[in-house]
Amino acid sequence: MSSEPLIYLNGDIVEAADARISPFDRGFLWGDGVYEITPSFDGQLYRLDDHLDRLYRSLRYVRIDPGMDQAAMAAATRETLAANAGRLEAGGMYRVGHWITRGVDTNSMSARAAGPATVMIFFRKVDVETIARNQANGLRLSVSATRRNPPECIEARAKVTSKMNQILAELDAASNDSLSLMLDIHGNVAENSVANFFIVRNGKVITPPEGNILEGVTRKVVFELCERLDIPVEERLFTMYDVSQADECFLTSSAICAMPVREIDSFQPRLELPGPITSRLIAAFAADTGFDFAKLPKAA
């Protein structure tokens, strides 16, 4: 028997090697779909409802009917988790992917003629040792020449599978052995290719407002944790000038929780890594998820 996690595909739970999707699926042909990634810590789905809320907001925006309501999607997710008992590493962390496309294209290539939707749920193991090292040492970012798509073109809050904008930014930064930091078309800081971006100045956490950024679930968790920890938060536009004056910088996403940034091009945060507020948030995330990267055997 394969040790790879089983996949949910269009109502069936199957071996990954046996999963079949048409080459004419619009997700493959046009990137016509939406997706979601929920972290699972030691078999516990973290903020599944929040992630599925966003998934169904994205589905409504792009006008895809998945053929099942949100409660049924949550039930299918838990069913897939249960089916993978014995295949998921005990104590491990996984990304739980929900990928939904408009379905198989017709000869007309009309979006309205496609369907029914393709629905896939899968588990992929996370490299927690790398995350642990990065939390200790920080990440290096580079400002990409590729600007974040403005909401006048496509709404950034929707988690769509058409990711070429972010992929090009990722490749821009990779040429400098860095991860990306994307600006909007007006020169304001937006986000990383796969994560939201924060700075800390004079004890206040500052992050770009909704508009040019993904409506991050972990971003929402940061707001909740900051309120609990009595840390002030401000959503506002800011530029690389503000980044150059920052005491701390960090990224957030479902897979990395809070991740300190050690350098952005030639700018380095004023405080040593990880900064005091970033450290408090990392500890609060660990308490909230029950998963502490710093205590992993290979975290040193």
Structure confidence at residue 248 (pLDDT): 98
**Cα torsion at 25, 31, 35, 39 (round to 10°)?**
100
Structure confidence at residue 296 (pLDDT): 79
Structure confidence at residue 299 (pLDDT): 41
Estimate to the nearest angstrom the gap between the alpha carbon of 88 and the chain centroid.
Answer: 21
- Tens-digit pLDDT string for the chain (300 aa): 468 999 999 999 999 999 999 999 999 999 999 999 999 999 999 999 999 999 999 999 999 999 999 999 999 999 999 999 999 999 999 999 999 999 999 999 999 999 999 999 999 999 999 999 999 999 999 999 999 999 999 999 999 999 999 999 999 999 989 999 999 999 999 999 999 999 999 999 999 999 889 999 999 999 999 999 999 999 999 999 999 999 999 999 988 889 999 999 999 999 999 999 999 999 999 999 999 888 876 443
Structure confidence at residue 2 (pLDDT): 64
The structural domains of the chain, ordered by start, are 7-126 (3.30.470.10), 131-292 (3.20.10.10)
Structure confidence at residue 239 (pLDDT): 97
**What pTM does this model have?**
0.94
Structure confidence at residue 297 (pLDDT): 65
Q: Which of 140, 126, 85 is nearest to 296 (CA)?
A: 126
The per-residue DSSP string of the chain comes to ---SPPEEETTEEE-GGG----TTBHHHHH--EEEEEEEEETTEESSHHHHHHHHHHHHHHHT---SS-HHHHHHHHHHHHHHTTTTSPTT-EEEEEEEEE--B--TT--GGG--SPEEEEEEEE--HHHHHHHHHH-EEEEE-SSPPPPTTTS-TTS-BS--HHHHHHHHHHHTTTSEEEEE-TTS-EEE-SSSEEEEEETTEEEEPPTTSS---HHHHHHHHHHHHHT--EEE----HHHHHT-SEEEEEETTTEEEEEEEETTB--SSPSSPHHHHHHHHHHHHHHT--GGGSTT--
Structure confidence at residue 300 (pLDDT): 39
Q: Which residues pair with 251 in a beta bridge?
A: 197, 259
Structure confidence at residue 295 (pLDDT): 81
- The strand pair at 139-143 and 179-183 is best described as parallel
